[in-house]
Structures are given as structure tokens and as C-alpha cells.
Amino acid sequence: SKPKRGLSSFMLWQNANRAAIKEEHPDAKMTEIGSIAGAKWREMDAKAKAPWDAKAKADKARYQAEVEAYEASQRASAADSE
């Protein structure tokens, strides 16, 4: 029940673009799709990556808030069991 970590900007971009990459390379294996995605990501400039960096920052904030709530509930449960 622990919160899932926030995704990096690359992972968010890759998740959003995986279907298009798979369409471009229908015979590619999952590992090859990851390599292709990595190459495309490296070719992108900072301006193109900026929206994904913002989404990653928001996801990190979400994760931190969820962790704080989770830890608070764990402390409350521990206090109740004493």
C-alpha cells in the first residue's frame, strides 16, 4: 500500500510515445523499443523536454505528498496498537 515513486521525465515521455514507436518499428522487441526511445529522447532539445520535466516535477510532488500521508497513517496505526 506504499505509494509508487514519481516517474522521470523520460519515463513519462516514453509511456506516452511507446505506441507510436512500436508503430514505427513493429518488429522491435521491448528492449529495442527502449533503446529507440532513448535515442529519440537524447535528440530532443531542452524546449521539447520542458513539458515532460514539468510533469515529472508534479509527479514528484504527488509522490512526496502521498509518502507523507502514508507515513502519518503508519504512525497513527502504530500509536493505536500500543
pLDDT of the residue at 24: 96
Q: What does the pLDDT look like over 28-55, one tens digit per residue? A: 999 999 999 999 999 999 999 999 999 9
Residue 1 included in any domain:
no
Residue 3 included in any domain:
no
pLDDT beyond 90 at 77: no
> How many domains, the chain?
1
Helical pair 9-24 and 46-81, crossing angle rounded to 10 deg:
120
Residue 75 included in any domain:
yes
Residue 65 included in any domain:
yes
Q: What does the pLDDT look like over 57-76, one tens digit per residue? A: 999 999 999 999 999 999 99
CATH number of the domain where residue 64 is located: 1.10.30.10
> How far is Cα 20 from Cα 16, in angstroms, rounded to an integer?
9
Residue 27 included in any domain:
yes
Residue 13 included in any domain:
yes
Which pTM does this prediction carry?
Answer: 0.85
Q: Give the domain range for residue 62.
A: 9-81
